[in-house]
Structure 1
């Protein structure tokens, strides 16, 4: 359980990405130097690529635990209800395997200290889903 909580705490760096200022000239320069056949940037001095250590240093995300993988052919209404505490309406708020972020934002109520730990965890999952989906 301690490792699980520790991983969630380390996700906080991703929330700061909302305020990240993008240097468009730098991004353009990197795109110009990207070689898809080798998955590297080609610079005058050498090749360079992004690795998991960069993820750790830049975002503070844990890269030393098992990956999150699993089946994708699930009952998404049931899975959302289990993990988020609310079930989307198929066709309106969930299309295929995607949840509309507007629905997610509209259906999350503010929480306070009187809520159960399960509700707080569901809100944390929804916040993380919204952060990832927003990028």
Structure 2
């Protein structure tokens, strides 16, 4: 939900220049700072209550994993990876009448 904040391009450039990519820490004159998930949730007005996005589970193989997360199974695996073209082809456009489960699979 947008709360009327404007992005300041100069501030963004300064912050990017102060970012230490190996630790994802901003090195500022007053101290070093790390952006936490709570910071992101507060800035984007994301709910911090309710179901988690992922949890701990045991899935025997990649076909079962693919079925559990996507509701579809790719016919090509590259080691532990799925072809990006398959993902684009199968999940490019969310159906207008999609259920909650379908929305989660597309996300």
Same fold (TM over 0.5): yes
Q: Deviations over 1:7-54 (max 9, x none)?
A: xxxxxx6xx9xxxx8x5x655533432346875322223332212321
Give the unaligned 5+ runs of structure 1: 1-12, 114-118, 129-135
* Cα separation, 1, equivalents of 2:30 and 2:16: 17
Q: Which runs of 5+ in 2 are unaligned?
A: none
Which has the bigger relative contact order, CA under 8 A and spacing at least 6?
Answer: 1
CA RMSD in angstroms, aligned pairs only: 3.9
Kindly state the Cα deviation for residue 76 of structure 1 after the two structures are TM-superposed.
Answer: 1.9
Q: Is the 8 A contact 1:104 1:126 kept in 2?
A: no
Please say if 1:45 is aligned against 2:56. no
Mapping 1:1-12, distance limit 5 Å = none
Aligned: 1:120 with 2:103: no
Partner residue, 1:97: 80
Q: State TM-score, norm by structure 2.
A: 0.57
Structure (1 or 2) with the greater helix fraction: 1
Cα 1:80/1:120, change in 2 over 3 Å: farther
Q: Equivalences for 1:68-83 in 2 at 5 Å?
A: 68-70=54-56, 74-83=60-69
Q: Deviations over 1:46-67 (max 9, x none)?
A: 3322123211123333445667
Contact 2:26 2:34 in 1 (8 A): yes
Aligned length: 101
